Chains A and B, each alone.
Chain A
Amino acid sequence: MLLADLIRIKEQELAGRKPFTLRVCMAAGCVSSNAEAVLAALDRAVKDAGLESQIEVRPVGCLRLCCEGPLVAADPDGKLYKKVRPEDAVSVVKALQGGPTSVRTGDMREPFFEKQFNIVLANSGLIDPERIESYIAADGYVALRNVLRDMSPADVISAITKSGLRGRGGAGYPTGLKWSTVAKTKSARKYVVCNGDEGDPGAFMDRSVLESDPHRVIEGMIIAGYAVGAQQGFIYVRAEYPLAIKRLQTALKQARQFGLLGSNVLESPFSFNIDIRIGAGAFVCGEETALMASIEGLRGNPRPRPPFPAESGLFGEPTLINNVETFANVAPIILQGPEWYASIGTEKSKGTKVFALAGKITRTGLIEVPMGIKLREIVEEIGGGAPEGAKIKAVQTGGPSGGCIPASELDTPVDYESLTKLGSIMGSGGMIVMDETTNMVDVARFFMDFCVDESCGKCIPCRAGTVQMHRLLTKILNRQATESDLKTLEDLCELVRSTSLCGLGQTAPNPVLSTLRFFRSEYIELLQPKSPSPECASTAEKKGEPADDKPVEGR
């Protein structure tokens, strides 16, 4: 396969386009609300109307306004049909030619879309994720071909470094630096691993990228393999993402058929293969050392670092591990240049970030925004603010490792440093909006509950410390706690943060710490008065609700 072939495929694909297109979202959200039937009904309606030469019905990836699914986008008029039912198909087809329709419509110029900036999701909702031709028509694999023809591995790494791209898996480690560390190791065998474990509650960015544009991630991994000198890649995806796995399998098969994977990629001397590994859905298996243990067939426990994966990773060999979204940024950086990428965002946080917007907000869904955008713009303009009658209280980012940012700080720009300064983190992209009815202590307990469940149990502070923090939070919520319990809780936060082995434990106290920082009064209000008379204390104990707590016995 050569450039000429890529161009030929692109031209064929474009020549086959019809005057009208109906793009039907086939990502997991819409599929779960019956998008498959909508797709079939639209196909039938087009056939019945004899318009097959005029209208293309194309299954695509995520159209983002997930709260309004199943979604259908129409070209060229830019209409977005919401909550489409199979029985609406005929009316949607008629509407394409100017007929009236009963289906609720919006258009792609709504503020929800206008404020967004597409790099990672540029193809999402446009191309058919199950056809490699559709990706090639959107200039897919041209970056790879440019890299193999015109760039040395060092050139590629320097481009990634110059772009300022930082890891999207949560910690924001500079991607170029990571690549160059792996490239410098002298080992005949190296690996590239794509982290698609995505275990944060409420987060579905990586799933959407894999479902909507799997080839983009594959292309990024191949380029990474070339840059660091690896021959084998693994994509680690959780078993709860069957659709993402299926689309990846299809995409990998097509890439092999097209000579983009395997021996002599695009007829160059470089060979690279990618296999899928399916995780059993433990949050901790997203931690890089646990993930690699899991790929090796071992129990998914983290291990102390150093040695870092770049030095000694999978099967003891140097390993590059990056997040799905990180890899999805690679091809655009190569195609449009690192300077272009570096011009987007803030001084230290470049490019865009995909968020899964959820909670007490008018519009929920998948969004991609330039770094540096203010939280307020996301919440009020893209998300449309709180539903009628509600008032926004806080925004949670970073899931169980992150924190709650109070409404008073909504003018904070979204970048790694600013969010960390507020005691939260960028995280992998979960963003939950909370309104005045939310009790912050309850929120802290919700995330602690998650950490208790997901702790691997290897180290003591996390295994036993999270349980004790959960008990104390429950005690506070049941109005049975005293000031000294609050002190114990704070001591535990410090202990678990400073002494846990891996990031799960080290960040588990964050939701408590950040709510204590901004909403301390809510904790204090729930405390017992200072010195209750012995009588009072005993009635309170008797009346207190039974501690709603984890059973500790064998489950």
Chain B
Amino acid sequence: MAAKTLTIDGQLVSAEEGQTVLDAARDAGIYIPTLCHLNGIQDIGACRLCLVEITGSPKLLPACVTKVQEGMEVQTSSDRLRRYRRMILELLLAERNHVCSVCVSNGHCELQTLAAEHGIDHVRFEYLSPRLEVDLSHRLFGMDHNRCILCTRCVRACWHVEGAGTKNVAGRGIQSRIISDLNQPWGQSETCTACGKCVAACPTGALFNRGATVAEMQRDRTRLEYIVTAREKSQWIV
């Protein structure tokens, strides 16, 4: 594969053809915030946190799905980008009920970490405070819709890594919900294999192991990536 040279934040970086700007930046030790991206699962460019400025492009482009090009000049953290990221995070915090102090993921949450990184000490938008349910029908796992940010990492892990196709999105816009099968209680799903990949993928406290209480929900993010890499490289075939 041909190598490409580009500059990210003024730093010369070499990358492989077909790599994304996000991967190239991470390989070079440059941090770009992400939420809907998870190593090992297909990218969809939905959360818009990884937007970067690229010289010559009038539009901001999501680093997670933009492929590197020779001579590309990328800016990952201008004032404008930081302002936008902060607002996007505030929109998320106002959308559902993110009460960290009583959340299973307190201290291990990607949303919380990003909010802290962006210095969010208050939210300028009105809290929508919707009343959402908690699905505890599954033997092993729980889903708290109050914490869900609709990143669909669980859906993609379920479809593309496990291949079960249990998780899905129902409704649209602000009414979107993650559902199991045809909107049944999770515990009644006939397709769920109880593999737990969705739980491993979830960035917040929305999906958790039953029995986990406040701040106890830690996940092993490398497991999914490990499975995918093993599959791509056929590592289990002798």
A303 vs B124: C-alpha distance when bound (angstroms): 29
**Cβ-defined contact, A304 with B174, below 8 A:** no
Chain A interface residue count, CB cutoff 8 Å, equals 35
Q: A491-B87, A553-B130 are in contact. Are A467 and B174 (CB under 8 A)?
A: yes
**Other-chain residue from B46, B60, B92 in contact with A498 (beta carbon distance below 8 A):** B60
Q: A458-B46, A554-B132 are in contact. Are A452 and B88 (CB under 8 A)?
A: no
Cβ-closest chain A residue relative to B44 = A303
Q: Give the chain B neighbours of A555 by CB distance below 8 A.
A: 171, 175
From residue B129, how far is it (CB to closest CB) to chain A in Å? 8
Q: A495-B84, A550-B174 are in contact. Are A457 and B169 (CB under 8 A)?
A: yes
A455 vs B84: C-alpha distance when bound (angstroms): 19
Q: A457-B169, A460-B48, A554-B177 are in contact. Are A499 and B84 (CB under 8 A)?
A: yes
From residue A54, how far is it (CB to closest CB) to chain B in Å? 56
**Cβ-defined contact, B174 with A452, below 8 A:** yes
- Whether A524 sits at the interface, judged by CB under 8 Å, is no
**Cβ-defined contact, A304 with B62, below 8 A:** yes
Within 8 A of A (CB), among B127-148: 128-132
- Whether B172 sits at the interface, judged by CB under 8 Å, is yes
- Whether A380 sits at the interface, judged by CB under 8 Å, is no
**Cβ-defined contact, A455 with B177, below 8 A:** no
**Cβ-defined contact, A464 with B174, below 8 A:** yes
**Other-chain residue from B94, B124, B132, B174 in contact with A457 (beta carbon distance below 8 A):** B174
**Other-chain residue from B91, B129, B150, B168 in contact with A465 (beta carbon distance below 8 A):** B91
A299 vs B172: C-alpha distance when bound (angstroms): 10
**Cβ-defined contact, B126 with A468, below 8 A:** yes
- Whether B173 sits at the interface, judged by CB under 8 Å, is yes
A196 vs B129: C-alpha distance when bound (angstroms): 38
Q: Give the chain A neighbours of B91 by CB distance below 8 A.
A: 460-461, 464-465, 468
From A282, A452, A461, residue with most partner B Cβ within 10 Å:
A461
**Cβ-defined contact, B131 with A464, below 8 A:** no
Contact with B along A497-509 (1 / 0, CB 8 A): 0111100000000
**Cβ-defined contact, A468 with B94, below 8 A:** yes
Cβ-closest chain A residue relative to B89 = A460
A499 vs B61: C-alpha distance when bound (angstroms): 9
Sorting the interface of chain B by its residue count into under 10, 10 to 19, 20 to 34 or 35 or more gives 35 or more
- Whether B8 sits at the interface, judged by CB under 8 Å, is no
Report whether over half of chain A's contact residues are helix, strand or loop; otherwise say mixed.
Answer: helix
Number of A-B contacts (CB under 8 A): 101
Q: Give the chain A neighbours of B149 by CB distance below 8 A.
A: 460
A463 vs B130: C-alpha distance when bound (angstroms): 15
**Other-chain residue from A299, A455, A465, A501 in contact with B169 (beta carbon distance below 8 A):** A299
Within 8 A of B (CB), among A410-467: 452-461, 463-467
Q: A455-B172, A457-B176 are in contact. Are A499 and B126 (CB under 8 A)?
A: no
Q: A453-B173, A455-B173, A553-B130 are in contact. Are A499 and B60 (CB under 8 A)?
A: yes
**Cβ-defined contact, A554 with B175, below 8 A:** yes
**Other-chain residue from B44, B129, B150 in contact with A463 (beta carbon distance below 8 A):** B150
Within 8 A of B (CB), among A353-378: none
Q: Give the chain B neighbours of A460 by CB distance below 8 A.
A: 46-48, 88, 91-92, 149
From A284, A491, A498, residue with most partner B Cβ within 10 Å:
A498
From residue A379, how far is it (CB to closest CB) to chain B in Å? 33
**Cβ-defined contact, A467 with B60, below 8 A:** no
- Whether B103 sits at the interface, judged by CB under 8 Å, is no
From residue B148, how far is it (CB to closest CB) to chain A in Å? 12
- Whether B31 sits at the interface, judged by CB under 8 Å, is no
From residue A509, how far is it (CB to closest CB) to chain B in Å? 13
**Other-chain residue from A459, A461, A501, A552 in contact with B174 (beta carbon distance below 8 A):** A552
Contact with A along B20-62 (1 / 0, CB 8 A): 0000000000000000000000001111100100000001101
**Other-chain residue from A284, A303, A471 in contact with B126 (beta carbon distance below 8 A):** A471
From B131, B169, B172, residue with most partner A Cβ within 10 Å:
B172
List A residues at the B interface (Cβ < 8 Å): 282, 284, 299, 303-304, 452-461, 463-468, 471, 488, 491-492, 495, 498-501, 550, 552-555
3 closest residue pairs by CB, A with B: A457-B176, A455-B173, A464-B91
30 residue pairs A–B, Cβ–Cβ below 8 Å: A284-B172, A299-B169, A303-B45, A452-B173, A454-B172, A455-B172, A455-B173, A456-B173, A457-B171, A457-B172, A457-B174, A458-B152, A459-B47, A460-B46, A460-B47, A460-B88, A461-B91, A463-B150, A463-B174, A468-B91, A468-B94, A471-B125, A492-B87, A495-B84, A495-B88, A498-B60, A501-B48, A552-B130, A554-B171, A555-B171
Beyond the given A452-B174, A454-B173, could you list 17 further A-B residue pairs with CB under 8 A, ordered by the A residue number? Answer: A304-B65, A457-B171, A458-B44, A459-B45, A459-B48, A460-B47, A461-B91, A467-B95, A467-B128, A467-B173, A471-B125, A491-B87, A498-B84, A501-B45, A552-B128, A552-B174, A555-B171
